[in-house]
Every structure is written in structure tokens, then in C-alpha cells.
């Protein structure tokens, strides 16, 4: 970075501190950390064989995850961890009933020597390999959220490794490892220290929590994340211009990823019918999806009862799953299994471009590891400058795991489709 750029970052930080009471917020986080530790030691690591109640888990989930049940925009939480509520609950009970796994996580949290902590995280990833419990994903979100809750003064609540890399590259900070070959433990532990040391060398002070909040404050977030405000005739919208480090080349998906996407399509169809909706599936997908979803008579529509022009109708017919009530589409889902995640977004954008005033809730459904890719791509200029509304205002992200959690809910027949709002994430 040039001297002017460094001075600008320092100036932005001073402006940030005029509206952020770092001292009071740190006091709050010391209390939240103590609550997390008390729950961890007294309930998770307890010898009591009984399960941990959902209500007990939920109090701590609100600390870990901004999307936690009961949180509001004004709640203090580590970050949007993109772990479904049910997955958090199951994770805590798995730690509780499997002392070897819970004990290893405890060692990760308590370790203060960086090299030892990185090695323990790698050991945890190896032990948990193949388990779809949201604990050891490639982005490191869950472990980093635990670390930030355990010690918010020294652990960044910027939990995404992709975001950490973007900040490091924006600030021009040296990294003592190779991004492509380093282990997740090395990435989590080392990037935490590199960023803290780097910004403090620029004159930024405060706890890791304070610095993390600053990183996501405007306009600094716009600078390192490649976001820009563009003025349209009707309003200003935020668009994202992805950097090269976040670009991923398209690859042919493997058989397992395709099969998993079909299972999710089938599960979405099943959830929709339980809630009282009729289902539409593209005719090209039906043979495969119907192997995992056994449709009853009348549940799967043979023709769409819509009054759109032929071009719009043909576009809608290709969307992976539609929930309909009478002659209206209530929700539309694109299930993504490709690396680029473009196909679903393009189909949604085509629909909005053809019908700017359409009032349908749109969702991109993808694995958790593609979450940041989806949320970034949805804010591209081409999607943000659509006539009417930006795609990001109409389309949200849902993870595969959140759909599975929805499918596990009891009494789906008595629930409204609005329950999806507890699981979706909006690009912002």
C-alpha cells in the first residue's frame, strides 16, 4: 500500500470510532464470552448424560450466529456463520455425547500457542472428515466463530477465510504460507495474527472484535470487498465486482454432486407439498427427482397455470422447483451444484428482466461451501441494475443443510412457507 492509502485506512478507522463505542462493546463481549464459556464447560463438557435442551443451545447460538433464532439487527453476535439452527443444536449435543470430539474442540479453544492451535485444528478436521455436521467446512466459519466467542479480544469475528484473504491482499500484508497448499488450521490461526499485526502497524487499535466490526463498516468494506454504490434513476444500489482471487473456473460436476442436488430438489418438492403447495419440476429433471420424491396424484403439475407470454413461461419452466398456490407462483428455487453458480442466477435474472414487476420469492440453494460465491455473484452489476428491483432484493441464499433442517421440522403441514425466512440469507 502507498503512504496515502495507509493514511486513508487510518482516517477511516478514526471516523468509525466516532460512532462505535469500543470500550462499551468490549465490555458486552466480555460478558458474552463468559456466557459462552459457562455453557461450554457446564453443559457441553458436563458428565450429565442427558441431552442439552434446545432452549439452552439457542441462547448460545445467538452469540455465535447473527442468524440465530431470536436475534435482531441490534443483537451482538459473532457473525453470520451460515450454520442452520438445528445443526448448531446437534453439534453441541454431539460434543456432549462424544467426549473425544468435544474434548478436541475444547483443546482448540483453550490453546494459546499459535502453532499448537493450528495443529489441533488440523487434527480436528482429520477426526471429523466425512461428517456432514457443519463443524469443519473449508471456509473455517464454524471454528472461527467458536474462537471469537471464546476470546473476542484476540480472535477476529471476521470468520470467513475468503474475507480474510481479501483484506490481507487489499492491505498488502505478507503471508508466511502458500494459500493453495496450507492447511485450514494454518490459514485460520495465521491470518488472524497477520491481520491484527498488520492493521495495528497502521495505527489501528482495539480488540479483535472492534477491528472486525470496522472491516465490515462502510466505506472500508466497499474498498476491500470490491463493492461499489451505483446510482440508478430510482435509487442507489450496491454492486460487487469480484476480484480475481474469488473467481473460480467452471468444472464439470461429479456424479455425487449432481445426485445430491437431485435429492435436494426432491426434498424441496416434499416440503412444498406438506405445506399445501402444488409443485412444478422441469420436465427434463422429473425422471431423476421422482426417484427420491414419490409424488401423490395431483401434487406435481403437468402444465403451469400461468398467464405469461411464451418467452416468460419457457424461462419459468426451467426453474428447478416451483411452489404454487392456485394460479400463482409463491416461491422459486434454483438448486446449484456447479462451481460457478451462474446458471441459477442467470435464470432468475432472466425472469426478473422479462417481468420486472413479478412478485415471487426467489432462492438460490447451494452447498455451504458455495455460500460466499452465491452472495458475491448476486451483487454483480448485471444483476444489481435490472429494471425494477435488484436481484439481491428479491433472491436469497439457502444452504443444502438448511433445506435438510426444514425437512426435519415437525408439523410441516401446519407451518407457513414464511418459516424459510429463519434459514435464508440476504446479500448485503
pLDDT digits (tens, 9 = 90+) for 353-405: 888 878 889 999 998 888 888 888 888 877 777 776 788 888 899 999 899 99
Would you say residue 245 has pLDDT above 50? no
Residues 184 and 283 in one domain: no
Contact (Cβ atoms closer than 8 angstroms) between residue 251 and residue 241: no
43 alpha carbon, distance to own chain's centre: 27
> Is 227 domain-assigned?
no
Max mean pLDDT among 6-10, 122-126, 308-312, 420-424 falls in 122-126
Q: Which pLDDT score, from 0 to 100, does residue 285 have?
A: 85
pLDDT digits (tens, 9 = 90+) for 105-156: 999 999 999 999 999 999 999 999 988 888 998 889 999 999 999 999 999 9
> Is 131 domain-assigned?
yes
Contact (Cβ atoms closer than 8 angstroms) between residue 322 and residue 280: yes
Residues 317 and 389 in one domain: yes
pLDDT digits (tens, 9 = 90+) for 298-342: 999 998 888 888 888 888 888 999 999 988 899 999 998 765 677
Residues 188 and 265 in one domain: no
Residues 66 and 152 in one domain: yes
Q: Which pLDDT score, from 0 to 100, does residue 90 have?
A: 94
Last residue of a domain, one of 200, 218, 236: 218
Residues 266 and 399 in one domain: yes
Residues 185 and 273 in one domain: no
Would you say residue 99 has pLDDT above 60? yes
> Is 234 domain-assigned?
no
170 alpha carbon, distance to own chain's centre: 22
> Is 230 domain-assigned?
no
Q: Which pLDDT score, from 0 to 100, does residue 138 have?
A: 85
> Is 154 domain-assigned?
yes
Residues 201 and 299 in one domain: no
Residues 213 and 262 in one domain: no
> Is 341 domain-assigned?
yes
Domain total for the chain?
Answer: 2
Question: What percent of the chain is modeled with pLDDT above 90?
Answer: 57
Q: What's the whole-number mean pLDDT along residues 149-168? A: 95
Q: Quickly state the pLDDT bin for 18 (edges 50, 70, 90).
A: very high
Last residue of a domain, one of 196, 218, 240: 218
pLDDT digits (tens, 9 = 90+) for 193-230: 999 999 999 999 999 999 999 999 988 998 887 655 55
Report which of residues 93 and 231 the model is more confident about: 93
> Is 238 domain-assigned?
no
**What mean pLDDT is reported for the chain?**
88
Residues 200 and 51 in one domain: yes
Runs of H (alpha helix) within 275-309: 286-289
Last residue of a domain, one of 171, 202, 218: 218
Of the given ranges (11-25, 250-264, 350-364), which has the lowest mean pLDDT?
A: 250-264
Q: Which pLDDT score, from 0 to 100, does residue 258 have?
A: 58
DSSP 296: P
Would you say residue 19 has pLDDT above 60? yes
Cβ partners under 8 Å of residue 95, min gap 6: 44, 45, 101, 102, 105
Record the cell numbers describing residue 75, joined without a space. Answer: 443483537
Of the given ranges (6-10, 91-95, 238-242, 391-395), which has the lowest mean pLDDT?
A: 238-242
Cβ partners under 8 Å of residue 106, min gap 6: 40, 45
Would you say residue 235 has pLDDT above 70? no
Runs of H (alpha helix) within 151-237: 161-171, 184-201, 208-215, 220-225
Q: Which pLDDT score, from 0 to 100, does residue 234 have?
A: 53
C-alpha Rg value of the chain to the nearest Å: 23
Q: What's the whole-number mean pLDDT along residues 282-286? A: 85
Question: Which CA distances in Å does 344 have to 69, 400, 409?
Answer: 28, 15, 26
Residues 147 and 28 in one domain: yes
Task: State the Cα–Cα distance between residues 333 and 348, nearest whole angstrom.
Answer: 9
Task: State the Cα–Cα distance between residues 327 and 229, nearest whole angstrom.
Answer: 38
Task: State the Cα–Cα distance between residues 371 and 161, nearest whole angstrom.
Answer: 13
> Is 233 domain-assigned?
no
Task: State the Cα–Cα distance between residues 206 and 217, nearest whole angstrom.
Answer: 15
Q: What's the whole-number mean pLDDT along residues 81-88? A: 88
Q: Quickly state the pLDDT bin for 83 (edges 50, 70, 90).
A: confident
Task: State the Cα–Cα distance between residues 416 and 423, nearest whole angstrom.
Answer: 13
Task: State the Cα–Cα distance between residues 121 and 183, nearest whole angstrom.
Answer: 9
What is the residue range of 70's domain? 3-218
Of the given ranges (78-82, 206-210, 242-246, 316-320), which has the lowest mean pLDDT?
A: 242-246
Q: Which pLDDT score, from 0 to 100, does residue 237 have?
A: 52
Residues 88 and 184 in one domain: yes
Residues 286 and 142 in one domain: no
Amino acid at each position: 500500500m502507498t503512504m496515502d492509502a495507509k493514511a486513508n485506512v487510518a482516517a477511516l478507522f478514526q471516523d468509525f470510532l466516532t460512532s462505535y463505542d469500543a470500550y462499551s462493546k468490549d465490555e458486552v463481549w466480555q460478558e458474552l464470552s463468559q456466557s459462552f464459556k459457562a455453557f461450554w464447560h457446564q453443559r457441553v463438557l458436563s458428565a450429565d448424560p442427558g441431552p442439552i435442551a434446545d432452549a439452552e443451545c439457542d441462547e448460545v447460538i445467538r452469540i455465535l450466529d447473527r442468524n440465530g433464532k431470536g436475534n435482531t439487527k441490534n443483537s451482538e453476535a459473532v457473525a453470520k456463520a451460515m450454520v442452520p439452527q438445528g445443526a448448531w443444536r446437534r453439534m453441541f449435543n454431539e460434543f456432549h455425547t462424544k467426549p473425544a470430539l468435544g474434548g478436541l474442540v475444547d483443546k482448540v479453544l483453550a490453546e494459546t500457542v499459535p502453532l499448537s492451535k493450528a495443529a489441533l485444528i488440523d487434527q480436528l478436521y482429520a477426526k471429523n472428515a466425512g461428517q456432514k455436521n457443519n463443524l469443519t467446512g473449508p471456509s473455517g466459519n464454524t471454528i472461527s466463530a467458536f474462537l471469537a466467542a471464546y476470546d473476542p479480544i484476540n480472535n477476529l469475528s471476521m470468520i470467513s477465510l475468503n474475507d480474510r484473504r481479501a483484506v490481507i491482499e487489499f492491505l498488502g500484508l505478507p503471508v508466511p504460507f502458500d494459500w493453495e497448499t496450507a492447511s485450514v488450521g494454518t490459514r485460520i490461526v495465521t491470518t488472524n495474527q497477520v491481520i491484527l499485526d498488520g492493521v495495528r502497524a497502521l495505527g489501528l487499535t482495539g480488540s479483535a472484535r472492534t477491528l472486525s466490526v470496522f472491516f465490515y463498516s462502510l466505506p472500508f468494506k466497499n474498498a476491500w470487498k470490491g463493492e461499489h454504490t451505483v446510482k440508478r434513476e430510482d435509487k442507489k444500489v450496491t454492486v460487487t465486482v469480484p476480484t480475481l482471487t474469488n473467481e473460480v473456473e467452471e468444472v464439470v460436476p461429479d456424479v455425487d454432486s449432481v445426485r445430491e442436488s437431485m435429492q435436494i430438489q426432491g426434498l424441496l418438492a416434499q416440503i412444498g407439498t406438506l405445506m399445501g403447495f402444488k409443485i412444478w419440476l422441469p420436465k427434463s429433471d422429473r425422471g431423476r427427482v421422482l426417484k427420491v420424491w414419490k409424488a401423490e396424484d395431483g401434487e406435481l403439475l403437468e402444465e403451469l397455470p400461468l398467464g405469461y407470454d411464451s418467452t416468460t413461461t419457457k424461462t419459468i419452466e426451467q426453474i428447478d422447483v416451483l411452489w404454487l398456490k392456485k394460479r400463482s407462483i409463491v416461491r422459486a428455487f434454483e438448486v446449484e451444484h456447479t462451481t460457478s453458480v451462474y446458471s441459477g442466477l442467470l435464470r432468475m435474472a432472466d425472469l426478473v428482466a422479462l417481468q420486472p414487476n413479478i412478485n415471487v420469492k426467489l432462492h438460490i440453494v447451494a452447498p455451504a461451501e458455495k455460500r460466499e460465491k452465491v452472495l458475491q455473484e448476486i451483487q454483480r452489476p448485471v444483476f444489481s441494475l435490472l429494471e425494477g428491483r435488484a436481484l439481491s432484493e428479491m433472491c436469497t441464499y439457502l444452504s443444502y443443510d438448511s433445506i435438510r433442517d426444514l425437512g426435519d421440522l415437525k408439523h410441516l403441514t401446519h407451518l407457513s412457507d414464511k418459516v424459510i425466512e429463519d434459514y435464508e440469507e440476504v446479500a448485503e
